[in-house]
Amino acid sequence: MKDSLNVAVIGAGISGLLTARELLRENLRVTVFEKSDQIGGTWVYDDRVEVDGCHHLDPNRSIVHSSIYKSLRTNLPRPLMSFSDFSFEDKSYGDPRLFPGHEEVLKFVQDFANEFGVSEVIRFNSEVVRVESQGCGFVVEWRTTEGGLVEERFDAVVVCNGHHTEPQVASDVPGTFLFRLGSVFLM
């Protein structure tokens, strides 16, 4: 019998955690790479702001990953925030309102990861810097916050790193005029 497939999952937000759980259910060997020190992706609140405001033009800036604000509440009620086999409604996080705040969503996601053993396969502070197809698999190059690049081979890679981290600003589009009004760009 062939060994089970070795699968890399990039990102420990909701998509990465659900993906990892399903792969584990299929008895695959799973490694989740998370560049931060905790799970939750976009639900992790950080009160820091980037030094160049909302323009994000300085490539050497300190990147702040958070895309939420302190008082954020979901626009979905608790029943719709549930997973098919892990109910948000069954959890008690101290706030009875129908639309949960980001703290509750983060706690729910953490509870999910712990309940299904996903937390055990996460490599925190491990940023993937390159994925390359090689033969019948992939080479994943990653580094920890301490530095030092490591290459590792996987049979498959699932990218679940979200799309809210780096803003897209059109600048060199022929025929497009940018007018700056405060911190708003009109195109």
Calculated CA dihedral for residues 76, 77, 81, 86, nearest 10 degrees: 180
Q: Is residue 180 part of a domain?
A: yes
Two structure tokens written together for 171: 């600048």
- In total, how many domains does the chain have? 1
User: Whole-angstrom Cα distance, residue 152 to residue 141?
Assistant: 6
Top pLDDT among 164 and 184 is at: 164
Mean pLDDT on 49-69:
66
Range of the domain at 146: 6-186
User: Whole-angstrom Cα distance, residue 75 to residue 114?
Assistant: 25
Q: Is residue 152 part of a domain?
A: yes
List strand residue ranges (DSSP E) for 84-155, in order: 122-123, 126-134, 137-144, 147-154
What b/e readout covers 96-131, taking b as 16+ CB neighbours within 10 angstroms? eeeebbbebbbbbbbebbeebebbebbbbebbbeeb
| pLDDT of res. 89 | 84
Q: Is residue 53 part of a domain?
A: yes
173-185 pLDDT per residue, tens:
554 444 443 334 4
Q: Is residue 151 part of a domain?
A: yes
Two structure tokens written together for 177: 């005029």
Top pLDDT among 70 and 8 is at: 8
Bridge partners (DSSP) of residue 86 are 83
| pLDDT of res. 64 | 66
Q: Is residue 1 part of a domain?
A: no
Q: Is residue 44 part of a domain?
A: yes
Q: Is residue 70 part of a domain?
A: yes
Q: Is residue 81 part of a domain?
A: yes
With residue 50 as reference, give the H or E element that holds it: none
pLDDT of 1 over the 60 cut: no
| pLDDT of res. 10 | 96
For residue 79, give the CATH number of its domain: 3.50.50.60
User: Whole-angstrom Cα distance, residue 178 to residue 170?
Assistant: 9
